[in-house]
Copies of this chain bind each other. A is one copy, B any other.
Amino acid sequence: MFTLEVRDHVMIAHSFRGEIFGPAQGLHGATYVVDAAFMTEELDNNGLVVDIGRAHDVLKTVLAALNYKNLDDLPQFAGTNTTTEFLAKHIHDRLAQAARLGTLGRDAGAISAIRVTLAESHVARATFEGPLR
């Protein structure tokens, strides 16, 4: 199994509902350093999983919809705790959608899985990994 992984970041504000979150119930924020990994069984004719430039571009486009936003204000997240693990899946799903549309420049059928890791600090991170097909 081959994996190609690219890194970018996003800076957002949000708050959480639920006593378990303690002080994180207040409006605060986070930088997420985001690693997006694309997996294939075989390389393409160029010797690639996917083009690294395209992978960076697709990740940047997905993150742009969140970057410098207060996630509490975004309709698609209404009634949802935008935890690190939730956002890992959210970004995964957007990347999977882009992959299925061919935006990565490779047949989506060739990409077996996508894994997204969000580091919220030097001591905590969350990952979502799912098959593409």
A99 at the interface (CB under 8 A from B): no
Residues of chain A having any CB pair with chain B under 8 Å: 1-9, 11-14, 16, 18, 20-24, 26-33, 37, 43, 46-49, 51-53, 56, 67-70, 73, 80-86, 88-89, 105, 120-130
- Asked, given contacts A28-B69, A51-B20, whether A43 binds B85 with beta carbons under 8 Å apart, the answer is yes
Summarize A's interface: helix, strand, loop or mixed: mixed
A11: shortest Cβ distance to chain B, in Å?
5
Tell me how many chains of this kind the complex includes. 6
| A127 close to B2 (CB less than 8 A) | yes
Q: Which of A16, A53, A85 has the most CB of B within 10 A?
A: A85
A108: shortest Cβ distance to chain B, in Å?
17
A124: shortest Cβ distance to chain B, in Å?
5
A30: shortest Cβ distance to chain B, in Å?
5
| B68 close to A31 (CB less than 8 A) | no
